[in-house]
Amino acid sequence: MTEESDEFDVVVLGAGAVGENVADRASRTGLSVAVVEHALVGGECSYWACMPSKALLRPGDARAAARAVPGIGAVGQLDVAAVLARRDEVAAHWDDAGQVAWVEGAGLTLLRGRARFTGPRALAVEAADGTVRAVTARRAVVVATGSVAVVPEVFAGVRAWTSRESTSAHRVPARLAVVGGGVVATELATAFSDLGSEVTVLVRGDRLLASAEPFAGEAVARGLAAAGVRVAFGASVTSASRDDDGVHLVVEQRPVSGQGGQGETGVALPGRLTVDEVLVATGRRPATDDLGLEVLGLRPGDALEVDDRLQVQGVGGGWLFAAGDVTGRTATTHQGKYDARVVGDVLAARFDPRPAAEAADGAVPHGLSRQGEADAAPWSRYRATADSSAVPQVVFTRPQVAWVGPTAQGARDGGTAVEVYAYELGDLAAASVTAADYAGRAQIVVDTSRDVVVGATFVGPDVADMLHAATVAVVGEVPLSRLWHAVPSYPTLSEVWLRLLEAAGR
Ligand SMILES: Cc1cc2nc3c(=O)[nH]c(=O)nc-3n(C[C@H](O)[C@H](O)[C@H](O)COP(=O)(O)OP(=O)(O)OC[C@H]3O[C@@H](n4cnc5c(N)ncnc54)[C@H](O)[C@@H]3O)c2cc1C
Ligand SMILES: NC(=O)c1ccc[n+]([C@@H]2O[C@H](COP(=O)([O-])OP(=O)(O)OC[C@H]3O[C@@H](n4cnc5c(N)ncnc54)[C@H](O)[C@@H]3O)[C@@H](O)[C@H]2O)c1
């Protein structure tokens, strides 16, 4: 039963990192903005994804770094209880009071409840107590409802862990199976191995991190093997059951062509495996099942396909937008927030509620301009141009993997003629002072017709922070002849840029 009704200029569905950013940006010219959230304000990243997973990984990283430097005395075991307690703090004890205060401080209206479309620009928001509130958006609705873990049918009856249960776990299973070979699988296998679990990773394919350069997955496979993690390639779970002894998995393993280090590091499994928990890390799907999308002529469960303004395709009237994981276009917080800034600026400029004279160029907050939005071209603040050419990703495994832009093969498949230049990070002066046996690799993919870097990959300890220089080079389309004048400091790992440019003939 509808008890209340409300109208706002803009309504944002989902108060994850992306929804929060959309709402904040959209409100900058004075539009009234409501954010609807049925769980915790802050979303997946704050409580069950980026933040707690990185809190679980950091102690092992620090320990490995200390162990790699001669002269530091014995480095002990992790204090598991303390690590979990620190993780709890990083996840704000799953209490969103701090983020609610931010939302309110930003002048946004928070509506607690689950939102569903009842028509164009019309929503029903159902609160936990069953109260339903009709909410209308005068100008636009932005869907930022994120994604949920995919759990294959075979695991339906065993109370399998997803990333949520593992990042919020309060005990460490003695034996853990991890299904999948992507980012979640490799990061959480690393974390639970650090915490003392005996970890077996079951990879259906023949490589880890299939969307990265092959040498990255090979290095991570070697790192996991060195940490005592068993990685089984070509391994599929055909049945799963749980009893008092744990979870019993029947695993079929086909021979896979040995891919360099991965072929050497992979293990053969007996057909059965018993573990205390199984973590299913087999990807995510957009959270659109229960949004009432059918009333808009869209199919529930599908990703919301958007253009570079983040406007949803297939719905007329120019009022429906989407950003973040729900679009299937981005799968990281940083790229989702980039899209959030774009759509927020589009809405703030396009629907600027102030009189036209006041809203003329130069007289508007933050340089937003109605005309600027109308005339926007690629690379303007109103177009998410980087999504198709310069998406950065860091995987916090040991070694870390960081890349931006396409792989060499991806660039070639896209029709770009490229040359590839690589350098072993261990040969840098900085490597010898960083650790006794520092090992890693950097590679750039150069578009030979334009003489610019279109992709870069870094693998090694602490390479995460090296990525942004590459992202700047890719986005800026800086010619190698000009990059040559960007002098990296000595002795830092960034000196790899000098070596890569030398390899490219400078
Ligand atoms: C284990 C793990 C680790 C990760 N680590 C990283 C990392 O280190 N760095 C990184 O950049 N990315 C990381 N990611 C990816 C990152 O978490 C996501 O890209 C990001 O959370 C997406 O943000 P979002 O706002 O689109 O969605 P979400 O964070 O999922 O937010 C969506 C919100 O919408 C709400 N909602 C859904 N439906 C409704 C409805 N009908 N009504 C009201 N509210 C609704 C949900 O409750 C949720 O709060 C990780 C992901 C996982 C799984
Ligand atoms: N550091 C980060 O930025 C970070 C960390 C974690 C997650 N994420 C994001 O979250 C997203 C989801 O991560 P993910 O690892 O769940 O997905 P993913 O798509 O990266 O990997 C899924 C893995 O599961 C395998 N798989 C798929 N279906 C399977 C099945 N039925 N049986 C066995 N294996 C199967 C795939 O082959 C792949 O190896 C990623 O796209 C990533 O961008 C980011």
Q: pLDDT, tens digit, for every residue of 168-183?
A: 999 999 999 999 999 9
Provide the pLDDT confidence category of residue 260 given band limits of 50, 70 and 90.
very low
Tell me what the mean pLDDT of segment 189-198 comes to.
98
Taking the centre of ligand 2 as the mean of its atom positions, its distance from the CA of residue 50, in whole angstroms, is 14
Taking the centre of ligand 2 as the mean of its atom positions, its distance from the CA of residue 394, in whole angstroms, is 14
pLDDT greater than 50 at residue 146: yes
Is there a single domain that holds both residue 254 and residue 297? Answer: no
Tell me what the mean pLDDT of segment 261-265 comes to.
58
Does some domain include residue 426? Answer: yes
Tell me what the mean pLDDT of segment 297-305 comes to.
98
Taking the centre of ligand 1 as the mean of its atom positions, its distance from the CA of residue 43, in whole angstroms, is 5
In degrees and rounded to multiples of 5, residue 307 shows phi and psi of: -95, -170
Evaluate whether 166 touches 192 at the Cβ level (below 8 Å): yes
Indicate whether residue 167 lines ligand 2 (CB < 6 A).
no
Listed residues 240, 261, 282: the one ending a domain: 282
Q: Average pLDDT over the chain, rounded to whole?
A: 95
Is there a single domain that holds both residue 141 and residue 290? Answer: yes
Indicate whether residue 166 lines ligand 2 (CB < 6 A).
no
Provide the pLDDT confidence category of residue 2 given band limits of 50, 70 and 90.
very low
Indicate whether residue 395 lines ligand 1 (CB < 6 A).
no
Nearest CA to ligand 1 atom 8: 50
DSSP for 44-91, please give it. Answer: HHHHTSHHHHHHHHHHHHHHHHHHTSTT--------HHHHHHHHHHHT
Q: What percent of the chain has pLDDT over 90?
A: 91
Considering its fold, how many domains does the chain have in total?
3
Tell me what the mean pLDDT of segment 22-33 comes to.
96
pLDDT greater than 60 at residue 12: yes
Tell me what the mean pLDDT of segment 34-59 comes to.
98
Provide the pLDDT confidence category of residue 357 given band limits of 50, 70 and 90.
low
Listed residues 361, 386, 411: the one ending a domain: 386
Evaluate whether 47 touches 173 at the Cβ level (below 8 Å): no
**Cα(490)–Cα(506) distance, integer angstroms:** 19
Evaluate whether 239 touches 252 at the Cβ level (below 8 Å): no
Looking from the CA of residue 18, the nearest atom of ligand 1 is 25
Nearest CA to ligand 2 atom 31: 152
**Digit-coded pLDDT (tens) for 372-381:** 999 999 999 9
Taking the centre of ligand 1 as the mean of its atom positions, its distance from the CA of residue 146, in whole angstroms, is 5
Indicate whether residue 180 lines ligand 2 (CB < 6 A).
yes
CATH at 437: 3.30.390.30
**Digit-coded pLDDT (tens) for 307-326:** 999 999 999 999 999 999 99
Nearest CA to ligand 2 atom 11: 331
Taking the centre of ligand 1 as the mean of its atom positions, its distance from the CA of residue 287, in whole angstroms, is 10
pLDDT greater than 70 at residue 75: yes
- Angle formed by the axes of helices 97-105 and 17-26, nearest 10°: 20
Indicate whether residue 332 lines ligand 2 (CB < 6 A).
yes
Nearest CA to ligand 2 atom 42: 331
* Alpha-carbon separation of residue 332 from 17, 320, 325, 422, 458 (angstroms): 10, 22, 7, 26, 18
Q: What percent of the chain has pLDDT over 70?
A: 96
Does some domain include residue 183? Answer: yes
Does some domain include residue 382? Answer: yes
Is there a single domain that holds both residue 7 and residue 143? Answer: yes
Residue 266: per-residue pLDDT: 79
**Cα(66)–Cα(451) distance, integer angstroms:** 40
Tell me what the mean pLDDT of segment 103-127 comes to.
98
**Cα(144)–Cα(341) distance, integer angstroms:** 13
Is there a single domain that holds both residue 157 and residue 271? Answer: yes
Does some domain include residue 211? Answer: yes
Is there a single domain that holds both residue 6 and residue 144? Answer: yes
Tell me what the mean pLDDT of segment 348-374 comes to.
79
Q: Strand, helix or coil at 257? A: coil
Indicate whether residue 488 lines ligand 1 (CB < 6 A).
no
N- to C-terminal Cα separation, the chain: 71
Taking the centre of ligand 2 as the mean of its atom positions, its distance from the CA of residue 186, in whole angstroms, is 9
Provide the pLDDT confidence category of residue 366 given band limits of 50, 70 and 90.
confident
Is there a single domain that holds both residue 416 and residue 443? Answer: yes
Indicate whether residue 184 lines ligand 2 (CB < 6 A).
yes
Listed residues 265, 282, 299: the one ending a domain: 282
Indicate whether residue 144 lines ligand 1 (CB < 6 A).
yes
Higher pLDDT, 425 or 263: 425
Is there a single domain that holds both residue 141 and residue 13? Answer: yes
Q: Provide the β-strand partners of residue 277.
A: 176
Tell me what the mean pLDDT of segment 441-459 comes to.
98
Is there a single domain that holds both residue 225 and residue 351? Answer: no
Nearest CA to ligand 2 atom 20: 182
Indicate whether residue 146 lines ligand 1 (CB < 6 A).
yes
Is there a single domain that holds both residue 265 and residue 171? Answer: yes
Does some domain include residue 26? Answer: yes
Which of 204, 396, 463 should be mutated for ligand 2, with most atoms under 8 A from CB? 204
Ligand index nearest the alpha carbon of residue 235: 2
Q: What share of the chain is helix, strand, coil (3-state, %, to 5)?
A: 35, 25, 40
Does some domain include residue 165? Answer: yes
pLDDT greater than 90 at residue 403: yes
Is there a single domain that holds both residue 144 and residue 158? Answer: no
Taking the centre of ligand 2 as the mean of its atom positions, its distance from the CA of residue 167, in whole angstroms, is 15
Taking the centre of ligand 1 as the mean of its atom positions, its distance from the CA of residue 306, in whole angstroms, is 18
Taking the centre of ligand 2 as the mean of its atom positions, its distance from the CA of residue 150, in whole angstroms, is 9
Tell me what the mean pLDDT of segment 133-148 comes to.
98
**Cα(330)–Cα(387) distance, integer angstroms:** 8
The residue among 228, 208, 205, 231 whose CA lies nearest residue 218 is 208
Residue 64 tokens, joined: 């490995």
Taking the centre of ligand 2 as the mean of its atom positions, its distance from the CA of residue 297, in whole angstroms, is 29
Taking the centre of ligand 2 as the mean of its atom positions, its distance from the CA of residue 210, in whole angstroms, is 10
Is there a single domain that holds both residue 231 and residue 357? Answer: no
Which of 18, 200, 282, 333 should be mutated for ligand 2, with most atoms under 8 A from CB? 282
Taking the centre of ligand 2 as the mean of its atom positions, its distance from the CA of residue 401, in whole angstroms, is 15
Looking from the CA of residue 334, the nearest atom of ligand 1 is 11
CA angle 382, 385, 386 (to 5 degrees): 125
Residue 1: per-residue pLDDT: 44
Strands 2-13 and 109-112: unpaired
Does some domain include residue 67? Answer: no
Residue 355: per-residue pLDDT: 77
Nearest CA to ligand 1 atom 1: 49
In degrees and rounded to multiples of 5, residue 358 shows phi and psi of: -65, -30
Looking from the CA of residue 149, the nearest atom of ligand 1 is 53
Nearest CA to ligand 1 atom 20: 333
Indicate whether residue 191 lines ligand 2 (CB < 6 A).
no
pLDDT greater than 70 at residue 258: no
Taking the centre of ligand 1 as the mean of its atom positions, its distance from the CA of residue 40, in whole angstroms, is 11
Is there a single domain that holds both residue 316 and residue 429? Answer: no
**Cα(477)–Cα(314) distance, integer angstroms:** 33
Residue type, 484: W
Q: Is the ipTM here above 0.95?
A: yes
Residue 263: per-residue pLDDT: 56
Does some domain include residue 83? Answer: no
pLDDT greater than 80 at residue 356: no
CATH at 214: 3.50.50.60
Looking from the CA of residue 185, the nearest atom of ligand 2 is 15
Tell me what the mean pLDDT of segment 389-400 comes to.
98
Owning domain of residue 191: 153-282
